[in-house]
Structure 1
């Protein structure tokens, strides 16, 4: 069922983010908010990217888009702000020489990877994904980026599913979490 969320007052605009909830995905009791219903519209995508840009610290040099929902948004934000861009992919989604971070859970199977061609040493990298749930994928991405010599203390998300402890997990890792909108784990919220 299609839904729409509005950014909280004081967020600097009239951003409406349409999304579709996937019931009990990826686990029972969590309804995944797919932003594809919103990003299909160019003006909505521009507004989402602009809202994310408002939350991006000045020290960030590179954006790491997390497979799959964060890839396009991170690329668009990197282009908008003149930043570097890299892809953090799930294991087995790319067939090149990779460096892997293993953290098996329902979100990412057997971990995340980045191409060995990516060079991070001494750079400030922020991760970006569409939804923050348990934080497993995001934490694996942060650990991988740090292992490669970069500083990663910022994470950006469009949505956060409340009560799934992803924010707390990342904050324990020393990562500041910036989210456009928090949603309940399940059930209907605002209709479009």
Structure 2
């Protein structure tokens, strides 16, 4: 059974007109969760993408990024919502599909020049990923690639990120759905 078939769609959440792709149904399925981590790991092992650290976006990026970090033997750095990190931070505001938000990262989270795999569950507008990339770059890191479980190409995030020169890897997509 494919990853896509394990993802639930919730119409009109968090507001009318949004088709929310809920990966909690994928994560609660031990076979589905293993498929995600195995397929991501396989991609990075087989394609030799060079990176030093995995950075995960709050909150589902922590789940995927943490498991992937363990599997690939890499460290993990969280990007959090404001006020959740105890040390000195840098922040970045960004646009969501349905509003605005802000994220933070410890200023000393990465060594200068560290190559980073940025991980999140879903790519829609690209706002969250752009904010994460901006934080990584502010502290001296370099984005090697971005990984997502789900891509929503009709919303335009993939195009926006690729136009900025970022490499992406997505396990599945919901196009025109």
- Give the structure-1-normalised TM-score: 0.80
Structure 2 residue 57 is matched with structure 1 residue 66: yes
Answer yes or no: is the 8 Å Cα contact 1:98–1:116 preserved in 2: yes
2:175 is matched with 184
Distance 2:113 2:101 in 1: 27
Shift of 1:177: 1.1
1:123 is matched with 114
1:99 is matched with 90
Q: Give the 3-state SS of the residue equivalent to 1:174 in structure 2.
A: coil
Structure 1's unaligned 5+ residue stretches are 7-14, 187-192
Alpha-carbon RMSD: 2.2
* CA deviation vs aligned residue, 1:158-192 (integer Å, no higher than 9, x gap): 11113000101111221111111111354xxxxxx
- Give the structure-2-normalised TM-score: 0.87
Higher helix share: 2
> In the alignment, which of 5, 10, 35 is matched to residue 22 of structure 1?
10
Q: Where do residues 1-192 of structure 1 align in structure 2 (5 Å cutoff)?
A: 6=2, 17-56=5-44, 57-94=48-85, 96-106=87-97, 109-184=100-175, 186=177
Shift of 1:122: 1.2
Shift of 1:94: 4.1
Answer yes or no: is the 8 Å Cα contact 2:109–2:139 preserved in 1: no
Q: Give the 3-state SS of the residue equivalent to 1:179 in structure 2.
A: strand
Answer yes or no: is the 8 Å Cα contact 1:60–1:124 preserved in 2: yes
Structure 2's unaligned 5+ residue stretches are none
Distance 2:176 2:78 in 1: 27
Q: Which has the larger displacement, 24-33 or 69-78?
A: 24-33
From the superposition, tell whether residues 149 and 87 of structure 1 become closer, same or farther in structure 2 (CA, over 3 Å): same
From the superposition, tell whether residues 38 and 176 of structure 1 become closer, same or farther in structure 2 (CA, over 3 Å): same
Distance 2:59 2:130 in 1: 16
From the superposition, tell whether residues 185 and 140 of structure 1 become closer, same or farther in structure 2 (CA, over 3 Å): farther
Q: Which has the larger displacement, 23-32 or 53-62?
A: 23-32
